[in-house]
Amino acid sequence: MVSKRRYYWYLGGACFMAYTACYAGRGILSAMLPQILQQTKFTKEGLGLVGSAFFFSYGFGQLVNGLLGDFISPKYMVATGLFLAGSLISLFPAVQTTALQAVLWGMCGLCCSMLWGPLSKLIAENTEEKVGRLLMTLLTVASLLGTMATFLLAAIISTGYNWSLAFHLTGAFLILTALGWYVFLAFLEERDLIKTEERKVNQAGFFASSPGFLLMTAVSLLNGVLRNAVVFWLPTYLVETFRISTTKAAAVSTVLPFVNLSGTFSALALLRKVGDKEERVLTVFFGAAACLFWLTFSLGGSYLLATLAAIFLASAAMTGACNMIFSVYCLRFASTGRVSAIAGFMDFTGYAAAAAANLFFTGLVASRGWNATVASWALLAAAGALVAFAAEKNRQPSKCFQSTP
């Protein structure tokens, strides 16, 4: 008989690997962007459109797949998403037009969106609250590890290999992970270590009418814009602002996930000190990010180390804020049976906004330059702090999250 503690590690390990693979897949374009621009005829504006296609379809997929995740086994959804995404990533180098790249990368985003809602539901409904919070935090760590792996791979590929090799290797990794996930989840189901029965769903409509929920949705939207903007544009920003090589830019970007990890655990530490009020943590972290982005703007493309420190710490603050939304706030809905739908909806808002913002940032960089773009990030972070503060003032009592009898 598998002990309860060991079972938690089994479940957490499987979810960790699946989400690491997901982020390796979704981050490979950003990591390879400087090299693609140098080795091909594709333009920054065109590839920015391709990135936006991913964000939009990923966000829309979070909404749809979050709803489906409350009714379909995560064994099938996660395996299917990883397998199809891996196949599409492997095909990406063969596509020779921007329009087709946008379609293919958009389809990849739709497939990658099949993970978050089902994984959240699987953890929330099969673990205790404290364990669930820990495992959800580990998913944040997994996203950082996957991102780090893509930048490390980009650094290696840039030493003399064709950029397409990175897509082939990443695609193969996702496909192998999909097969491993399916086999392992079948193992857990056969031994009755995970619950598969349908949970009673609360139909009270709390998430559509609550001011607190709507404000937290706005916080998720702003967090999605800033978190994804930094990760997507950082290598290109470093190459164009400081005239460093693509190899150095990829190597420097590899450090970002480690710094982001500090934001995740700093947010959890602050959460304990403020009485488990995640909205207050969000206010502090968005405020810190606003100051750090403004410092980056003030440096004006000078002083590489100071700029890196500021923008890395701002990114860490946004990662910590993301963890508060998805690893703490969304788990408050566990008893309603709608964790997948809630988590999917929250993620949808962030990525839908990121898709639109990515097009805006592309145009802003082209017309006004990087300094104006970083200033816009500072203003958005300041807005996030204000909205998070308002969300705390409209904080929902615990009874609002209980399922109906």
As a whole number of angstroms, the distance between CA 202 and CA 277 comes to 24
Note the pLDDT of residue 1. Answer: 47
| Average pLDDT for 349-365 | 81
- Residue 209: per-residue pLDDT: 53
CA-to-CA separations, 24 to 8, 108, 225, in angstroms, rounded: 24, 12, 19
- Among the listed residues 185, 181, 202, 229, the one whose alpha carbon sits nearest the alpha carbon of residue 359: 229
Spatial separation of the C-alpha atoms in residues 104 and 215, rounded to whole Å: 34
Asked if pLDDT for residue 299 goes beyond 80, the answer is yes
Two tokens, residue 363:
């145009």
Phi/psi of residue 135, each to 5°?
-65, -35
- 3-class secondary structure, 200: coil
Give the pLDDT score at 106: 93
Q: How far is residue 120's CA from residue 122's CA, in Å, rounded to a whole number? A: 5
Residues 58 and 113 sit within 8 Å (Cβ to Cβ): yes
Q: Looking at 191-303, list the stretches that DSSP marks H as alpha helix, in order from N- to C-terminal side.
A: 206-209, 211-242, 246-254, 256-273, 278-299
pLDDT > 60? residue 75: yes
**SS3 assignment, position 204:** coil
pLDDT digits (tens, 9 = 90+) for 90-125: 999 998 888 899 999 999 999 999 998 889 888 877
3-state SS class at 210: coil
Instruction: Give the pLDDT confidence score for residue 405 in this predicted structure.
Output: 29
Amino acid present at 70: D
- Listed range (82-86, 238-242, 311-315) with the worst mean pLDDT: 238-242
pLDDT of 6-21, one tens digit each? Answer: 778 888 899 999 999 9
Identify the residue with better confidence: 399 or 337.
337
Domains of the chain, start order: 7-195+202-401 (1.20.1250.20)
3-class SS of residue 203: coil
